[in-house]
Amino acid sequence: MAEKEKKEKLLEIKHLKKYFKVAHKDVLKAVDDISFDIYKGETFGLVGESGCGKSTTGRTIIRLYEPTSGDVVFAGEAIGGKLSHRAKRDLTSKMQMIFQDPYASLNPRMMVKDIIAEGLNIHHLAKSPKERLQRVFDLLETVGLNREHANRYPHEFSGGQRQRIGIARALAVDPEFIIADEPISALDVSIQAQVVNLLQKLQEEQGLTYLFIAHDLSMVKHISDRVGVMYLGNMVELASSDEVYDHPLHPYTQALLSAIPVADPKVERTRERVILQGEVPSPINPPSGCRFRTRCPFAMDICAKVRPKWHEVEKGHWVACHLHDEGVSKDAASQPAEANNKIAAKK
Amino acid sequence: MEKLLEIQNLNVQFDIFGAHVQAVRGVDLELNIGETLAIVGESGSGKSVTSKAIMGLNPMPPGKVTGGKILYNGQDLAHASDKQMQKIRGKEISMIFQDPMTALNPTMKIGKQIMEGLIKHQNLNKHDARARAIELLSLVGIPNPDKRVEEYPHQFSGGMRQRVVIAIALACNPKILIADEPTTALDVTIQAQILDLMRDIQKKTGTAIILITHDLGVVANLANRVAVMYGGKIVETGTLDEIFYHSKHPYTWGLLSSMPRLHAKTDKLLAIPGTPPDLSDPPKGCPFAPRCPYAMKVCQDHMPDYTKVTDTQKTACWLLDSRAPKVEPPKTVVVGGN
């Protein structure tokens, strides 16, 4: 932990918002005022259910979307405001993305070597065609493919291999920071482990920083140093990965963790679950105050009126929940137990 | 235990692009009354094709059953005519599909979609069928069923649509419910609701469930018995605890240890190297041999027979042969036991 504190911030996100205009005058608040930092060399996991804004956050950071407001500071440089075309291009030499669907994210009409070298061309990183090809060979070997694969087309590869090509493409420009948006959810279990191990190996070797976006909480726990939990456009909890899983503070995090089926029959038989009622409300017209209150077993009067403050409860453990507001902290400890009893009584 | 369904040496082949893809290669399986049998495996292992063969839902051509029987009530479903199958589908055996967005007809009211089977199989009149549809909707936990029965699928969310699909499947009190990845398309909190619902319904109706999934968490949550498929074959079957704690097959070990555990610290995942076999040219020996860390010479050329480990557990692996060296499963698998 002490080692972590010394680490410098690579990315600071301050009050980031991304709204989409939808039909009529409606506004979809996909990401609504979230703030967090990512330290150099760490893996930051971002989890939440579909529609919580985790992918939008990633895409806004790398400027696939224009942020509505807020600041993004990358390596000391503000990149959240208006950027020229050129500045955006320069940004992609330091920041790259790996996409979810390895079938849709590779151009089927381009050869693997051209897919991987596209970044090299754009940023003029290879001086000669020979050097370019050599770099492609090196990259293929780095991701566990071989040089014979360079002259093939994407359809000749399996899902896991395609994801390796996607990773090689991201690595081509020697980025510092990689956003991996659900990089393994389209893959089979045994192949998922291969890709995750590869990502970890690359991080050790090249000192990469990852933003790992996923809905699979057990995989996120495995790969991440710190984890942020999102719900309906807000960040509700952020802490080191062990802390989030061992001492979740926010009722949503607690429910999310208890909802995951564990691959261990004995645990499954004895486990008590908090099963959330209902479904995620629409982000076009989200609930007032705390957005989770409509499904929260502990909702109080204040939750409907005031949006809970995003604050640090313990060192490195942030939460936005009225149960953990300063002042009510004593009640907060007893309240969940009470509500748990209520749930038990209902059953 | 009483057998409800018995699959004997089933072979299914697909003739596509000039190749003969042998998707299912000699599967033996039985389903007992009231149990939940999980079939686990990766994509292309033949688990969906096996379940669709029971329902007669594999497209023929290009698919064809090249051998074996599926016995239900003395009838062979593998070679039944379309007309015979129509009497069974939806009435005796019904199915829940993976994607609730596409499993429902978008142009028909929910109520009408549930009533369809009731009118066809149970000779109910419209009025009674509608009453039963409302009853079913409340059974699967949809609020205001008498209002929602008049709504269209697009007015329902993903989780609610899956509940409707389950209501349709349950309409005629089937003996067997086949659930093909029933929660894969859903979010975790919704998944927990649907798993709860399925368990609840089984308690109330006593329907036997065949659960097709790749998610071992869902298996641990719902199943009584597990069959592990790989390369078109069942490599191991056993009770839930036998498969999770006393598995004898290296592929099952691989599956169990390639998933991170939520409740334990894992440093490095034990990935299974390589990729699944190409079933248009299936390997002569054990399909897992090329990826198996314990593979021996014999594995390449000869498919192992099933070894009876206990009364309920069968494993197809040469390691169980008396001449094979003794091998301990990796530590990551043993951790869960005890």
Task: Look at A194 and B221 and tell me if their CB atoms are within 8 Å.
Answer: no
Mean pLDDT, rounded, for B311-321: 91
Own/partner pairs, B132-138, CB within 8 angstroms, 24+ separation: B132/B171, B133/B167, B133/B171, B136/B167, B136/B170, B136/B171, B137/B110, B137/B163, B137/B164, B137/B167
Nearest chain B residue to A158 by CA distance is B275
B217 contacts on A by Cβ (under 8 Å): 218, 260-263, 268
Task: Look at A267 and B263 and tell me if their CB atoms are within 8 Å.
Answer: yes
Average pLDDT over all residues of chain B: 87
- Is there a contact between A188 and A163 (Cβ–Cβ < 8 Å)? no
Cα→Cα distances A172→A167, A200, B224, Å: 9, 17, 48
Q: Phi then psi for B292, rounded to 5 degrees? A: -85, 125
Instruction: Count Cβ neighbours within 10 Å for each residue of A36-50 and write b for 16 or more, e otherwise.
Output: bbbbebbbbbbbbbe
Mean pLDDT, rounded, for B189-203: 86
Q: Does B270 touch chain A (CB under 8 A)?
A: yes
Exposure on the CB side of residue B29, measured as CA atoms within 13 A: 29
How many distinct helices (H) and strands (E) make up chain B? Answer: 13, 12
A265 contacts on B by Cβ (under 8 Å): 220, 240-241, 244-245
Residues written for chain A: 347
Which among B71, B36, B33 has a CA at the least distance from the CA of B182? B36
Q: Look at residue A338 in the predicted model and tell me its pLDDT.
A: 47
pLDDT tens, residue by residue, A175-209: 999 999 988 887 887 788 888 999 999 999 999 99
Task: Look at A260 and B269 and tell me if their CB atoms are within 8 Å.
Answer: no
Residue B335 has pLDDT above 80, yes or no: no
Q: Look at residue A5 in the predicted model and tell me its pLDDT.
A: 52
Residue B100: helix, strand or coil by DSSP?
Answer: helix
Residue A344 has pLDDT above 50, yes or no: no
Residue B336 has pLDDT above 80, yes or no: no
Give percent above pLDDT 70 in chain B. 96
Q: Which of A49, A194, A218 sits opposite B187 (nearest CB)?
A: A49
Nearest chain B residue to A264 by CA distance is B220
Q: Look at residue B31 in the predicted model and tell me its pLDDT.
A: 93
Q: Which of A188, A215, A219 sits opposite B260 (nearest CB)?
A: A219
* B338 band by pLDDT with thresholds 50, 70 and 90: very low
Q: Which of A190, A267, A280 sits opposite B255 (nearest CB)?
A: A190
Instruction: Count Cβ neighbours within 10 Å for each residue of A130-162 and write b for 16 or more, e otherwise.
Output: eebeebbbebbebbbbeeebbeeebeebbbbbb
pLDDT tens, residue by residue, A200-247: 999 999 999 999 998 888 889 889 999 999 999 999 999 999 999 899
Residue A331 has pLDDT above 50, yes or no: no
User: How many Cβ pairs within 8 Å bridge chains A and B?
Assistant: 122
Q: How far is the alpha carbon of A80 from chain B, nearest alpha carbon, in Å?
A: 31
Residue A146: helix, strand or coil by DSSP?
Answer: coil
pLDDT tens, residue by residue, B126-146: 999 999 999 899 888 888 888
Q: Which of B42, B256, B271 sits opposite A194 (nearest CB)?
A: B271
Task: Look at B336 and A264 and tell me if their CB atoms are within 8 Å.
Answer: yes
Q: Give the integer Cα–Cα distance in Å for A241 and A45.
A: 8
Mean pLDDT, rounded, for A277-293: 86
Mean pLDDT, rounded, for B185-207: 86
Residue B324 CB coordination number (10 Å): 15
Q: Does A343 touch chain B (CB under 8 A)?
A: no
Instruction: Mutate one of A200, A219, A225, A264 to test the B interface: name it (highest B CB count within 10 A).
Output: A264
Fold of the CATH domain B3-223? Rossmann fold (3.40.50)
Instruction: Mutate one of A187, A188, A195, A217 to test the B interface: name it (highest B CB count within 10 A).
Output: A188
Max Cα–Cα distance, chain B, nearest Å: 68
Q: Give the integer Cα–Cα distance in Å for B321 and B299.
A: 11
A221 contacts on B by Cβ (under 8 Å): 260, 262
Residue A332 has pLDDT above 70, yes or no: no
The better pLDDT of the pair B206, A2 is held by B206
Task: Look at A218 and B260 and tell me if their CB atoms are within 8 Å.
Answer: yes
Q: Does A261 touch chain B (CB under 8 A)?
A: yes
DSSP β-bridge partners for residue B7 = B29, B70
Pairing relationship of beta strands A43-47 and A209-214 according to DSSP bridges:
parallel
Q: Give the integer Cα–Cα distance in Å for A235 and B21.
A: 48
Q: Measure the CA angle with vertex A58, ends A52 and A61; round to 5°.
A: 130
Mean pLDDT, rounded, for B29-48: 90
* Chain B residues 207-266 with a CB less than 8 Å from chain A: 214-221, 240-241, 244-245, 254-256, 258-263, 266
Per DSSP, which regions of chain B are E strands?
3-16, 19-32, 36-40, 63-72, 75-76, 93-96, 176-180, 208-213, 225-230, 233-239, 306-308, 314-316
* A334 band by pLDDT with thresholds 50, 70 and 90: very low
* A346 band by pLDDT with thresholds 50, 70 and 90: very low
Q: Which of B192, B196, B214 sits opposite A189 (nearest CB)?
A: B214
A50 contacts on B by Cβ (under 8 Å): 187
pLDDT tens, residue by residue, A243-262: 998 999 999 999 988 888 88
How far is residue B324 CA from its own chain's centroid? Answer: 32
Mean pLDDT, rounded, for A88-117: 91
Average pLDDT over all residues of chain A: 86
Q: Look at residue A337 in the predicted model and tell me its pLDDT.
A: 46
Both structure tokens of B260: 């991170």
Residue A258 CB coordination number (10 Å): 18
- Is there a contact between B283 and B290 (Cβ–Cβ < 8 Å)? yes
Q: Which of A200, A218, A266 sits opposite B259 (nearest CB)?
A: A218
What stretches of chain A show up as alpha helix (H) in DSSP? 2-6, 54-61, 85-91, 112-122, 129-142, 159-171, 189-206, 217-223, 241-246, 251-259, 265-270, 301-305, 329-346
Both structure tokens of A316: 């490195």
Q: How far is the alpha carbon of A135 from chain B, nearest alpha carbon, in Å?
A: 25
Task: Look at A222 and B269 and tell me if their CB atoms are within 8 Å.
Answer: yes
* In chain B, where the domains are located: 3-223, 229-334
Both structure tokens of B109: 């009211």
Residue B194 has pLDDT above 60, yes or no: yes
Task: Look at B217 and A263 and tell me if their CB atoms are within 8 Å.
Answer: yes
Both structure tokens of A98: 């790996």
* B334 band by pLDDT with thresholds 50, 70 and 90: low
pLDDT tens, residue by residue, A105-130: 999 999 999 999 999 999 988 889 99
Task: Look at A280 and B219 and tell me if their CB atoms are within 8 Å.
Answer: no
What stretches of B157-234 show up as alpha helix (H) in DSSP? 158-170, 188-205, 216-222
| CA-based R_g, chain A, Å | 22
- Is there a contact between B36 and B209 (Cβ–Cβ < 8 Å)? yes
Mean pLDDT, rounded, for B283-311: 90
Q: Look at residue B123 in the predicted model and tell me its pLDDT.
A: 87
Cα→Cα distances A73→A13, A14, A40, A263, B324, Å: 6, 8, 13, 40, 60
Looking up tokens 């042998």 gives B22
Looking up tokens 């069974």 gives B88
Mean pLDDT, rounded, for B44-56: 89
Q: Of A333-342, B2-11, B215-224, which range is least confident?
A: A333-342
- Is there a contact between A153 and A112 (Cβ–Cβ < 8 Å)? yes
A264 contacts on B by Cβ (under 8 Å): 220, 244, 261, 263, 336
* A347 band by pLDDT with thresholds 50, 70 and 90: very low
* Chain B residues 132-161 with a CB less than 8 Å from chain A: 157, 159-160
Is the peptide bond between A265 and the residue preceding it cis, with omega within 30 degrees of 0?
no
Contacts of A188 (CB under 8 A, 6+ apart): A159, A160, B42, B43, B214, B276
Task: Look at A259 and B192 and tell me if their CB atoms are within 8 Å.
Answer: yes
Instruction: Count Cβ neighbours within 10 Å for each residue of A269-307 and write b for 16 or more, e otherwise.
Output: eeeebbebeebbbebeebbebbbbbbbbbbbbeebeeee
- Is there a contact between B21 and B280 (Cβ–Cβ < 8 Å)? yes
Q: Give the integer Cα–Cα distance in Å for A68 and B193.
A: 35
DSSP β-bridge partners for residue A44 = A211, A226
Q: Look at residue B130 in the predicted model and tell me its pLDDT.
A: 93
Residue B244 has pLDDT above 60, yes or no: yes
Task: Look at B241 and A265 and tell me if their CB atoms are within 8 Å.
Answer: yes
B190 contacts on A by Cβ (under 8 Å): 49, 279
Task: Look at A49 and B263 and tell me if their CB atoms are within 8 Å.
Answer: no
Instruction: Mutate one of B262, B265, B268, B279 to test the A interface: name it (highest A CB count within 10 A).
Output: B262
Q: Look at residue A343 in the predicted model and tell me its pLDDT.
A: 44
Both structure tokens of A331: 């009640």
pLDDT tens, residue by residue, B249-271: 999 998 888 887 776 666 777 78
Q: Give the integer Cα–Cα distance in Å for B253 and B243.
A: 9
Task: Look at B160 and A279 and tell me if their CB atoms are within 8 Å.
Answer: yes
Looking up tokens 């710190």 gives A226
Residue B203 CB coordination number (10 Å): 10
Residue B13 has pLDDT above 80, yes or no: yes
Angle of helix A251-259 versus helix B188-205 axis, rounded to 10: 50
Mean pLDDT, rounded, for B298-325: 89
Q: Look at residue A36 in the predicted model and tell me its pLDDT.
A: 93
Task: Look at B261 and A280 and tell me if their CB atoms are within 8 Å.
Answer: no
Which among A105, A162, A112, A155 has a CA at the least distance from the CA of A137? A112
Both structure tokens of A2: 């002490």
pLDDT tens, residue by residue, B70-124: 999 888 988 888 888 888 988 899 999 888 878 899 999 999 999 998 998 888 8
Residue A120 CB coordination number (10 Å): 19
Q: Look at residue A330 in the predicted model and tell me its pLDDT.
A: 44
Which among B57, B325, B161, B215 has a CA at the least distance from the CA of A259? B215
Q: Give the integer Cα–Cα distance in Å for A98 and A212.
A: 10
ipTM over 0.90: no
Task: Look at A265 and B244 and tell me if their CB atoms are within 8 Å.
Answer: yes
Q: Look at residue A173 in the predicted model and tell me its pLDDT.
A: 92
Residue B16 has pLDDT above 90, yes or no: no
pLDDT tens, residue by residue, A36-82: 999 999 999 999 888 889 999 999 999 889 999 999 999 888 887 88
Strand order in the sheet with A177-181: A95-98, A177-181, A209-214, A43-47, A226-231, A234-240, A317-319, A311-314
